[in-house]
Structure 1
Amino acid sequence: MASDTEMRDAEAIEEDERQYGHGVITEEELNAKYPNRPRNHSKTLPFHELYLALFNPLNEHRKRPAGPVTARKKQGKHGPVNLSPHEIRRDIINRFISRWRKEVGNDIYPAFRLILPEKDRDRAMYGLREKTIGRILVKILRIDKDSEDGYNLLNWKLPGQNVKTAMAGDFAGRCFEVISKRPIRTTPGDMTIAEVNEMLDKLSIVSVEEDQRSVFEEFYRRMNAEELLWLIRMILRQMKIGATEKTIFDIWHPDAESLFNVSSSLRRVCWELYDPSIRLEGDDRGISLMQCFQPQLAAFQMHSFEKIVGKMKQTEDDDAFWIEEKLDGERMQLHMAEDDSKPGGKSFAFWSRKAKDYTYLYGGTFEDENSALTRHIKEAFGDGVRNIILDGEMITWDMEQDAMVPFGTLKAAALSEQRNPFSTGQRPLYRVFDCLYLNDEALTNYTLRDRRRALEASIRPIHRRLEIHMYVEAHSAAKIEPLLRQVVSEASEGLVIKNPRSPYRLNERNDDWIKVKPEYMTEFGEALDCIVIGGYYGSGHRGGKLSSFLCGLRMDQNQIQQGANPMKCFSFFKVGGGMTADDYATIRHHTDGKWHVWDPKKPPSEYIELAGGDKVQKERPDVWIRPDESVVFSVKAASVSTTEDYRMGLTLRFPRFKKLRTDKDWRSALSIQGFVDLKNNAEQEQKEKEFKVDDSRRKRQRITKKKPLTVVGSEEIVRTPYAGPATKVFEGLTLYIMTDSTVPERKCKAELEQLVKANGGKIVQKDTGVNGLVCVAEKRLVPVVSMQKSANRSIVRPSWLFDCIRQSEADLNQPSLLLPYEPNHMFWTLPDELGQIEANVDEYGDSFARDVTVDELRQIFKGMPLSGRNVFDATAFLNEAEDGKLGLGQLPGWMFHGLVVYFDKADTGNGMLDDTNGEYVQPHSVDLDLRLAGQVVTFAGGKLSTDLDGKDITHVVVGRDRTRVKDIRRGLQRHSPLPRIVTADWVHDSWKEKTLLDEERYAASP
């Protein structure tokens, strides 16, 4: 009869086979690669021990401060001492690891795969997101997808129906709530960690939802709700255990993090470093050929260029720094090694920054027929290069435009290159900027300058396949600005500033590499005031709340006159960055109760038009809002780029929220044509603007000054700053100034108080309960919020003070009279005072009691709707115009009248003809010149045709792509007279010259 030890060993071996027998590496290969790997003497721990002994205890001490109640104690030399929260977390992890070593063995890899799933590169991605898991659970639990729980699962980002606020935006938490109502098990299940890994391996190789469902059914039968909660977090690789991998690695082995940085292999960390007393040797601590590593990363510092450069260690003899263009692609490391068994004698491997293997895409050998890169770079390596590791960026290059394509198209370009290796369209291009390994020697400890010499000596660039990334050497921070301006004008990512004296530091962000992006700069581009038309719910700490917003551009007047809904908007961009908690609170205050859930079956097409129309609905929001009930955002961005995701065909790159324009409504938000004009002006003025670091959102250091010593009875006269002509406008009035002022003038709280005193008012520092007290504020500080909650008094903005003083200063001979409050004067208003305040202005916001400024009058005019009282007969007007009675033929705005123009493959507002079904759809690439030309033709009286076969076509305008000119000519043979085929320059130059130019000069040739 077998002993207990023999039985445990047999069970452990069986678990090993189940644990590691489902991957692409066989058990025999693992034994050969790791001959000294540790073996467990017993079965792995139950799966539920992970959350009972590790996850839950860690989360309990996640953010608790140490103290007599929450802190644990340990025995010190002089008695018990309190442990800090960090020490408590380390103690929890250490006890779990010690228990594993004692009860299971030294192979902790099965547990670490579940504790740190995002670091496990040996298991393939599941290809599962929240929506799919939600559908699977709805079927397993046999609940109606339209029921309360079904709705909450499938719409997990929405606040939900009768769910805990804490679970909003937390998909795993939402699943826990639903499963808890109908569990098969109420006690912890019987699955071991090894069995869970076996099932997860199976889940990673199936792709059909029915097969995925069978795996989840097994988990549902054998786990309780809390186990399933943690399992779903592992599948999504979104663990929240209250400790970082750095802490866990450090407790497992002192060299664990170093080995992971050079290998990106969790398996190797667990199997080579199972004994803490055995340390890594020097050679083992460096990068290895054909072994993925964690690359060095660039830091970003919110400092001036001088400080950025100053942070780099410099010497008297060497103050140089390098400036590189920041590429908009995917970070990629290339490994090449000698391999006589491979065609060409070399083998390759490619890994991304997150250790994803892309060798299948870019090629494993020179002769790889599925290679998108390696078969094109046979001549790229020097004759003496036996092996090498390169660090660089894989980007998409458009051969026709000879320009880099923005991020997001790389994989599609690589797949296209696999099918058509000599395409003249888009292809992957590898830009190399570092060499880290050469002919069996790691170069990471060498300086960047030395590594660059090795790179240039080893690589022969292959045009538009593999190229060495260029840099500019500089000695002064003044060199940065013009280069940043140049790359921004070319729609690039930004710059990276590098220290040529620095070594390569794995998995680190430090001051040796600093990135500078244009979106962090002020004074670049325009602040755009755009209407909010949609919202997206967030996850994590923003769960259950709107965290980002869809903004749009409203219709132009000429579109409205042609029958468009005045409130209809084109989707333009999505923004969520730059908002503070106060900003979110203010947005909620203005839009509460006005949001509508987006119904894909019945989209609000009369108000919002998305890319792809009602069928595709690209960038569809979770909720939408009517423009007339919405708010206006002021947004800044780095640049404008083309896109297929938004109805405008254009979008903002790196949009950032600046402020909420409470002074504007939807009518004064940016329109479609307004944006086009603004874009053109911004590009023209861009050369004249200077960059400045955007520190508007950084906390400013408070500067305190000592108050001068005041001696009672001193003869010295205390002088105050001039506060304007003294009036008595505030005489008899008591005011409580609560915040400083930014509009219309920037004054601190003390200056506002002095201004009030100089004009006869009395100042108090708190609400004393006096009748008629005027509270002044324009920011949501703590006392202001407290007063709002008490709802005792309205709060007026400082602008009211300035308006009162200005009105009184207009005629000092007249008695000073207080101005009545107007809506734009109010920061917060009591409900029963709203009607009285609104009665102090007319329907357009014009004051009855004061003289408005020129700027205010301009805004009032903009907000006035067109009067409908004048009777206007459009037909009679057009007839007179066509008869020449009105003399409009001499006006530029009438020059295209009578012409019918067809724009080839242009999105002129009507779409592009889809030859497969005859429908007009959003084009895949937007020709901006044609779009603008189409708007010019429409504006100047012309008509646009959506059908090339239309009998009334007079002109056909083509863009940069002339390949269709011959086909167009054949298609026009039936027309009489033949339409003229011209380039877009004919439209633009005619508009510039204010007359129709000779078409022969602009004839389009194939």
Structure 2
Amino acid sequence: MSKKPRSSEAEDEERRQYAVGGTTLKELDAEYPYRPKNHSRTWLFSELYQSLFDPLNENKKKPTGPNVHRAKLGPHGSSKISPHEQRRSIIEQFFSRWRTEVGNDIYPAMRLIIPSQDRDRNVYGLKENAIGKLFVKILKIDRNSEDGKALLRWKDPGQRISSMAGDFSGRCHEVISRRPMRMDPGNMTIADVNEMLDKLSAASGEKEQLPILESFYHQMNADELMWLIRIILKQMKVGATEKTFLNLWHADGDTLFNVSSNLRRVCWQLHSPDIDLNGRQSQIELFQIFQPQLAQFQFSGTFQKMVDVLTRSHRTETDNDFWIEEKLDGERMQMHMQRDDTVRGGMRFAYWSRQAKNYTYLYGNGFFDEKSSLTRHLRDAFLPEVNSIILDGEMVTWDMDIDKIMNFGTLKTAALAAQKNPFDQTGPRPLYRVFDILYLNGNDLRQYMLRNRRQALEKAVNGVHRRLELHPHETATSPEVIEPALRTVVANASEGLVLKDPRSVYTLNSRNDDWIKVKPEYMDDLGENVDVVVIGGYYGSGHRGGRLSSFLCGLRPTRNDIQAGVNPETCFSFCKVGGGFKGEDYQQILEMTEGKWHDWDRKNPPSQYVVLGGGEAKQAERPDKWIRPSESFVISVKAASATTSDQFAKLITLRFPRFKGLRLDRTWDSALDYDEFVTLRKRMEEATEGKTMKMEKKRARASKRVKKEVVIAGQDKVAAAAMFEGPRSHVFANLEFCVLSDATQPRKSKTQIEALIKDHGGKISQRAVADGKMILVADKKVVKVASLIKAGEADIVRPKWVFDCLGEGNNFVLPYEPAHLLHATDRLRDWAGENVDEFGDSYARNLSAKEFKDLLMDMPKKEIDYEPFDKQLFVTQLEERGHDLGNLKCHLFRRSVVFFAVGESISPIRVLKFKNWVRFGGGIISEDLDDISVTHVVVVGTDGPSERELSAEVRATISKRTPIPRVVTQLWLEECWKESTLLDEERYAPA
């Protein structure tokens, strides 16, 4: 790439952009010595959305699939590419132009392209409602006008702009486009926008925010403002992920971001494609926030299927256990600690959340931090040999008075209270529950198996009671133990469980099958139906925009409430229900309640009819509309359990409530009141406890497995902590070797190999012991080697492993690869196979030129068969980013395994149509009713006795199964298909 002289405009932009907060460019260069400098000023902001955002948005609207092509590239216009490839091409062309026309510093543009990953800019403190209020003032429009309501009540259907209901930036665009200051794009550059956004993030309150947004309004047209609002809200939705942008800028972009969470560092350190990220730079570092591993969402099917998926990658016949942990209702947190003699107390701490927010100010940077709510109590938490450590865990609130975990929403309040009264032994306090260790005394432990990391964790951390504790886990070999464990945590109002594979390594910023969530909403037989009266409604967004899509339900007053003077028609907010409704339910509700809904007036709430949580000052869970209970209707709701919550009037609510049906046979005054709910809740808890005891008895009859401790290679079980004593100065420190033969390639004698190992801290023994601790090295099957192999469980490592550990750019202990093993047990060989790809390329080191040539020569001379598209993972990623897939037929039955019970006179064509619906909706067809993974049995028969007989036969077959599949008629499939949502099965059970 040709170098261009820097323009004065580029230098001026650099000073304005980067010398903020008192930082000079000289100080910035010292911190980032590799920082690139653009030769030209940044593009106009309009170029960003015209060349990148708009094309990506258009591409997002195109259908995708293996046979779909939408663009032609190449000199002759003959090479067709798919929308996915076109999306990559759009981004690559944008980056290529930037490098040519602006320079190698992409950071100014990247922090606007993926604003959610920009940690250098403070939060704006602006959400949709606040931005709407500011633009009402900037545009000088009446808040009660149609446009004023469109901005302030953007979810409401309105009149002229109903098509944009639920899309805030779209509504802003339509309102602003009717009164713009500019028709054409403005002259603000990307650097100008960044400078103004820095000021906006530093602004405090509406008084300072208003003139900044007003300045944007005067300098931008409606299109620019729409994208600016999306950047402020960090809701870009352009059809490409952060990972895509980072990796298309540089092949190692996502890798470096995962270990650093620093967008600036990624853009500057990897400013050229010619720069390679060495092994050390891809490791996690102290006081450098990384992206943690996440648990996979639970999928459909039985617990047995879940366990099979969890352990399929690493299990053997003798090693097939898995771990069960309680999923805590707290905030994911990583703790970094380093011994530092320059700090009072000798230890320095830092805390970061999953979203890379620094919480050190809340929990404390040392033992003598006056604002510490936690760290001051951790003097004895670590062994003296621990000099540096990074822990991964969950920060929760522990109530010392009742000795249990409190809800997540109480965490910050408890931490602030602990800052003021640090030695109070009562009430709520922050508790750090640790479940993993990633770094110890200068060593990145991610490549060790989970069980090995746990051993290191237990040997390095003492813990402090109710301050810092190791999160317990249960080791299991059978899926039967999952259900009683889930029932136990549900009874304790916990979030659920996490299943983990103890043989798995830690993968940054990944959601894979090594950790799987199990939540109670997936279990049909947990919880009970309740009949509650609707007292409020909320407008939806997206495809549900413009209508009331979820409802606030209430509890009637008790007899004691009425005797105390409460209006008998007053209802107390109880739960919010939004799932399970179909189109005809919404239509029926609309017809029943037409003209009865009222706008909620926060200044004059209808307290004589509706009481919200937090009183009139807070008005928690405030609805958009309210309705008098006597004019309302009753619905049946099912939930997993009940839990406490200060967001509702009676300080109690339902967990995971779902609409079951309209109760047209009940009047509002026959719905549930608080006393009746307390009685019902007690019955639910007793039923859950009974089922748990039954499962525990069944489990007790099963054979017990003795947990066998796995020791990290080279460690002594009693003194394993010695491996981590102080910073390592040599690669093979504390490892014992026995060299049994010469090396053949390269040729080195036994004595030369021993000298090499000693030079790098290893210990040499002349007596070979196949105990799993000593590393046996040989390249030939000499007599001693043959004798060890014949004796049984000996693992013989080739000298090549020693040479590779000390190779250029490595100098650390590498995981074994198949090429490193002369002879090994099946377990070690399987594990070594996981450290290379299908062609033998190492994941942990760079190959030599000869190795790379040999690898290419051995590759099959055919087109590579890539892994099939992971539909479930793709759907999960979409749902994580806020996409509502509820109305997409192709995802309708994705958690269902369906068996069809078909009558004799039924046309095969008709049944095939139903099966195709299920398959298109992502479901699985089972041909065996005894298949334990079946979740639904669809009875396809003629009305009358034949259908009843068929249903009775099915129920008799499945009656003893746990859990029992849902039995429904074909009408359930037809209605689900028609409404594009999964409907309540009870309404379609055969007679």
With the length of structure 1 as denominator, give the TM-score of the two structures: 0.68
Task: Name the structure 2 match of 1:627.
Answer: 629
CA pair 449-707 structure 1, distance change in 2 beyond 3 A: same
Shift of 1:169: 1.5
Q: Which runs of 5+ in 1 are unaligned?
A: 711-745, 759-775, 787-796, 803-1006
CA pair 783-119 structure 1, distance change in 2 beyond 3 A: closer
Shift of 1:170: 1.5
Task: Name the structure 1 match of 2:512.
Answer: 510
Match of residue 294, structure 1, among 291, 296, 307: 291
CA pair 696-94 structure 1, distance change in 2 beyond 3 A: closer
Q: Does structure 2 conserve the Cα–Cα contact (< 8 Å) formed by 1:322 and 1:499?
A: yes
Task: Name the structure 2 match of 1:195.
Answer: 192
Instruction: Tell me the distance in 2 between the aligned counterparts of 1:104 and 1:594.
Output: 60
Q: Does structure 2 conserve the Cα–Cα contact (< 8 Å) formed by 1:523 and 1:689?
A: no
CA pair 200-567 structure 1, distance change in 2 beyond 3 A: same
The 3-state SS of whatever aligns with 2:45 is coil
The 3-state SS of whatever aligns with 2:653 is strand
Task: Name the structure 1 match of 2:415.
Answer: 414
Match of residue 159, structure 1, among 145, 148, 157: 157
Task: Name the structure 1 match of 2:379.
Answer: 378
CA pair 662-488 structure 1, distance change in 2 beyond 3 A: same
1:356-755 → structure 2 map (5 Å cutoff): 356-423=357-424, 424-556=426-558, 565-579=567-581, 583-584=585-586, 587-588=589-590, 590-689=592-691, 700-701=896-897, 703=899, 748=939, 750-752=941-943
Question: Percent of counterpart pairs with the same letter?
Answer: 56
Q: Say whether 1:209 aligns with 2:206.
A: yes
Q: Does structure 2 conserve the Cα–Cα contact (< 8 Å) formed by 1:66 and 1:82?
A: no
Match of residue 91, structure 2, among 90, 93, 99: 93
Task: Name the structure 2 match of 1:37.
Answer: 35
The residue identity in structure 1 corresponding to 2:394 is: E
CA pair 538-617 structure 1, distance change in 2 beyond 3 A: same
Q: Does structure 1 conserve the Cα–Cα contact (< 8 Å) formed by 2:332 and 2:395?
A: yes
> Which segment is superposed worse, 378-387 or 65-74?
65-74
Task: Name the structure 2 match of 1:865.
Answer: none
The 3-state SS of whatever aligns with 2:680 is helix
**Which string of whole-angstrom CA distances, capped at 9 and with x for unpartnered residues, describes residues 786-836 of structure 1?**
9xxxxxxxxxx999x98xxxxxxxxxxxxxxxxxxxxxxxxxxxxxxxxxx
Task: Name the structure 2 match of 1:144.
Answer: 142
Q: Does structure 2 conserve the Cα–Cα contact (< 8 Å) formed by 1:23 and 1:123?
A: no
Q: Say whether 1:109 aligns with 2:111.
A: no
**Which string of whole-angstrom CA distances, capped at 9 and with x for unpartnered residues, describes residues 47-70 of structure 1?**
011111111111111031269998
**Which string of whole-angstrom CA distances, capped at 9 and with x for unpartnered residues, describes residues 220-271 of structure 1?**
1111111111111111111122222222122111111111111111111111
Q: Does structure 2 conserve the Cα–Cα contact (< 8 Å) formed by 1:392 and 1:431?
A: yes
Instruction: Tell me the distance in 1 between the aligned counterparts of 2:145 and 2:940.
Output: 55
Instruction: Tell me the distance in 1 between the aligned counterparts of 2:143 and 2:903.
Output: 68
Q: Does structure 1 conserve the Cα–Cα contact (< 8 Å) formed by 2:259 and 2:282?
A: yes
Task: Name the structure 1 match of 2:772.
Answer: none
Instruction: Tell me the distance in 2 between the aligned counterparts of 1:696 and 1:666.
Output: 33
Task: Name the structure 2 match of 1:880.
Answer: none
Shift of 1:325: 1.3
The residue identity in structure 2 corresponding to 1:387 is: S
Task: Name the structure 2 match of 1:272.
Answer: 269
> Which segment is superposed worse, 330-339 or 276-285?
276-285
Task: Name the structure 1 match of 2:73.
Answer: 74
Match of residue 122, structure 1, among 120, 123, 141: 120
Task: Name the structure 1 match of 2:711.
Answer: none
Task: Name the structure 2 match of 1:18.
Answer: 16
Instruction: Tell me the distance in 2 between the aligned counterparts of 1:529 and 1:696.
Output: 27
The 3-state SS of whatever aligns with 1:535 is strand
Q: Does structure 1 conserve the Cα–Cα contact (< 8 Å) formed by 2:378 and 2:468?
A: yes
Q: Does structure 1 conserve the Cα–Cα contact (< 8 Å) formed by 2:972 and 2:988?
A: no
The residue identity in structure 2 corresponding to 1:519 is: E
Q: Does structure 2 conserve the Cα–Cα contact (< 8 Å) formed by 1:336 and 1:387?
A: yes
With the length of structure 2 as denominator, give the TM-score of the two structures: 0.69
Shift of 1:753: 5.8
The 3-state SS of whatever aligns with 1:59 is helix
Instruction: Tell me the distance in 2 between the aligned counterparts of 1:696 and 1:639.
Output: 26
Shift of 1:181: 1.5
Shift of 1:526: 1.4
Instruction: Tell me the distance in 1 between the aligned counterparts of 2:366 and 2:17.
Output: 32
CA pair 118-785 structure 1, distance change in 2 beyond 3 A: closer
Instruction: Tell me the distance in 2 between the aligned counterparts of 1:24 and 1:752.
Output: 80
1:310-389 → structure 2 map (5 Å cutoff): 310-311=308-309, 312-313=311-312, 314-389=315-390
**Which string of whole-angstrom CA distances, capped at 9 and with x for unpartnered residues, describes residues 864-905 of structure 1?**
xxxxxxxxxxxxxxxxxxxxxxxxxxxxxxxxxxxxxxxxxx
The residue identity in structure 1 corresponding to 2:73 is: K
Instruction: Tell me the distance in 2 between the aligned counterparts of 1:270 and 1:785.
Output: 48
Instruction: Tell me the distance in 1 between the aligned counterparts of 2:683 and 2:898.
Output: 38
Shift of 1:113: 0.4
**Which string of whole-angstrom CA distances, capped at 9 and with x for unpartnered residues, describes residues 627-681 of structure 1?**
3443333222232222322222221123233334344442442222221221122
The residue identity in structure 1 corresponding to 2:330 is: G
Instruction: Tell me the distance in 2 between the aligned counterparts of 1:593 and 1:701.
Output: 43
Instruction: Tell me the distance in 2 between the aligned counterparts of 1:446 and 1:798.
Output: 51
> Which segment is superposed worse, 456-465 or 313-322?
313-322
The residue identity in structure 2 corresponding to 1:604 is: P
Task: Return the structure number with greater relative CO, CA threshold 8 A, min gap 6.
Answer: 2
Q: Does structure 1 conserve the Cα–Cα contact (< 8 Å) formed by 2:366 and 2:375?
A: yes
Q: Does structure 1 conserve the Cα–Cα contact (< 8 Å) formed by 2:940 and 2:947?
A: no
* Aligned Cα root-mean-square deviation (Å): 3.2
Shift of 1:350: 0.9
Q: Say whether 1:27 aligns with 2:25.
A: yes
The residue identity in structure 1 corresponding to 2:170 is: G
Q: Does structure 2 conserve the Cα–Cα contact (< 8 Å) formed by 1:524 and 1:689?
A: no
CA pair 564-83 structure 1, distance change in 2 beyond 3 A: same
CA pair 299-188 structure 1, distance change in 2 beyond 3 A: same
Q: Does structure 1 conserve the Cα–Cα contact (< 8 Å) formed by 2:301 and 2:896?
A: no
Shift of 1:161: 3.8
CA pair 472-217 structure 1, distance change in 2 beyond 3 A: same
Instruction: Tell me the distance in 1 between the aligned counterparts of 2:236 and 2:256.
Output: 22
Q: Does structure 2 conserve the Cα–Cα contact (< 8 Å) formed by 1:189 and 1:224?
A: yes
Q: Does structure 1 conserve the Cα–Cα contact (< 8 Å) formed by 2:573 and 2:610?
A: yes
Shift of 1:686: 2.1
Instruction: Tell me the distance in 2 between the aligned counterparts of 1:433 and 1:777.
Output: 47
CA pair 230-389 structure 1, distance change in 2 beyond 3 A: same
Instruction: Tell me the distance in 2 between the aligned counterparts of 1:69 and 1:322.
Output: 43
**Which structure is larger by alpha-carbon Rg, 1 or 2?**
1
**Which string of whole-angstrom CA distances, capped at 9 and with x for unpartnered residues, describes residues 754-779 of structure 1?**
66999xxxxxxxxxxxxxxxxx9976
The residue identity in structure 1 corresponding to 2:214 is: E
Instruction: Tell me the distance in 2 between the aligned counterparts of 1:379 and 1:15.
Output: 50
Task: Name the structure 2 match of 1:282.
Answer: 279
Shift of 1:315: 1.1
Task: Name the structure 1 match of 2:806.
Answer: none
Instruction: Tell me the distance in 2 between the aligned counterparts of 1:283 and 1:783.
Output: 53
The 3-state SS of whatever aligns with 1:232 is helix
Q: Does structure 2 conserve the Cα–Cα contact (< 8 Å) formed by 1:23 and 1:201?
A: no
The 3-state SS of whatever aligns with 1:97 is helix
CA pair 394-25 structure 1, distance change in 2 beyond 3 A: farther
The 3-state SS of whatever aligns with 1:532 is strand
Q: Does structure 2 conserve the Cα–Cα contact (< 8 Å) formed by 1:634 and 1:660?
A: yes
Instruction: Tell me the distance in 2 between the aligned counterparts of 1:370 and 1:12.
Output: 43
Instruction: Tell me the distance in 2 between the aligned counterparts of 1:395 and 1:757.
Output: 52
Shift of 1:14: 1.5
Q: Does structure 1 conserve the Cα–Cα contact (< 8 Å) formed by 2:69 and 2:81?
A: no
CA pair 447-748 structure 1, distance change in 2 beyond 3 A: closer
